[in-house]
Structure 1
């Protein structure tokens, strides 16, 4: 009797006539063989089943094949599909693979683009609910798997249809499991990886079911691809809405601080003015006059006018240019706006626990239309923004000197601008860093 080695699914196929050397054991990284798998089979019998049971569309099933053969084939298909899914790379070509590094995929595809633009996350949820109902309807109506209706088993068309139906359910379960796994692990940016894996799973199922002309129906596959796209869009929209809400809360909080500062400043000015006015009136009753008190009263009146203007004009404020060499490097600046009466307090807040070192201030420029000035600076350096996916961030690849030149073009004159960053904490810290830390 002549026997041949019969590798289980997921094992490499040895050369013809291969015999295991003494003490040979399978590689532990190979998937386990299905229960009851025969590693050695008789290949001398005229009606022996195909060695690997991986029958292709060009191979013929033995005329006297019985239920044992088909049961073994179903076990083979199930085991091979599980092994391929475990490896995460299924393809007709042995050299093909799927890029599973989400970081690399995100870098390759660039900025996220919506597949199905909708107004809100709630709108995506409604669309997904409708899509899920359509997917369920296709499955219930047995239209998810395309298969031959002419396959016979034991010379019986009815038994053949029963067998294709059972095998189709198995394949559909594997395909849906792959889809559900992709949906569970989906994040806002890795949709391309998920779609590639689903395409690979569909290709593998079409190859394994070629004998019975069995494959995932095109329309059903498109529905599940759309489900992945909509879910990714929903995740991204939800993330954007959370960021918008967070920034809106921060804006309102900042506006409230500004309002309180202006109110407190106005109360302080009113109190001081009342004291000076009382003193002036008292002197006037005696027929006396104090020039110093009159000058102080005029200064306070100007401060009150300015304070009222700041309270009424939400566009007035300070445009600041700051940097943090220790955190972002020496050619990165932040260009922002604050309406605070004491803008350095805002810079101190930005220098909190979220960054390792304090920010250095290059300029604080007061403008009656600071909003427009800030927008113009942001537009000028837009192509050099660190975060190209979120235009609301305010960090740019630019030196303080480059920003100074643009700012001079916009305003004509700057009273104070410091180009060199002191970066005191950063420079003091570098000398104490571990020797193996890259500097």
Structure 2
């Protein structure tokens, strides 16, 4: 009973704090559920699944079924006091369990899901031991939901690791592409010089009336021109690169994005360049997606939003009246495996500056 008194006193010290306006949020906060920045919030492929799990977690908590306990426990000979104690201790136990579950999610790294699940299972067993007198335990269905959340986050972490490895391969591909571009550029320069030389020699032979030699030289000149065409075709079809989706709420407003492509080894360098002194605020990056055929993918995205262009005169200005979420939906349909997409712009410079602007 001394242990129960300690827990009840601890619960009394924590009650009445952290008030919020919404009753549902208060119910969730009372048992330690706070909506911190979850690792999956910006993960396009996982966002809906996370929302589904959160919804089911909230439902179980709000119906009072997250912790199961005896309903006929008496305290000081009073059934009402016993039920009150069971309710209060259930909240306290659930707060402890949820704190452990959140810590497991936050500290999760690729490859340590087994350790995290074991840690959460131990927390569940500890609560059951502490609440044995009242037959108190975490609802297995509730525990399974938190385990699903862990597994979902672990799957995401593994994919992030795979993405990092893929990013290294992408950078190597771009380096190889750059070397190819340099070689093709050097070859084009050599062919242009050779073409100019043969054109000059051909003109001189024609002027002298040496048609036989001129015809032979013309044949060689045709071969050079064919080689130039082939070289130009290869240059035009080096297509790998990054598609970027960026916005600038402070400069362009909330419903405008830029959809472009870069072949930079570090694509964020291109985004930083665009946010130079010509605009008042830095751009927010919503997506950076590598494609073996970025040229085609960029064209397809531009065609999809063609009717919502900002500049219909100069199509090289790649700005569109669209929200990041609308671009995300189109991109998901075209590439399928879009892992990350930051839907909401942070725009820290804009929001910090806006409050200090002169009032009209």
Q: TM-score, normalised by structure 2?
A: 0.47
Pair member with larger Rg: 1
Q: TM-score, normalised by structure 1?
A: 0.40
Higher relative contact order (CA 8 A, sep 6+): 2
Which structure has the highest helix share of the two? Answer: 2
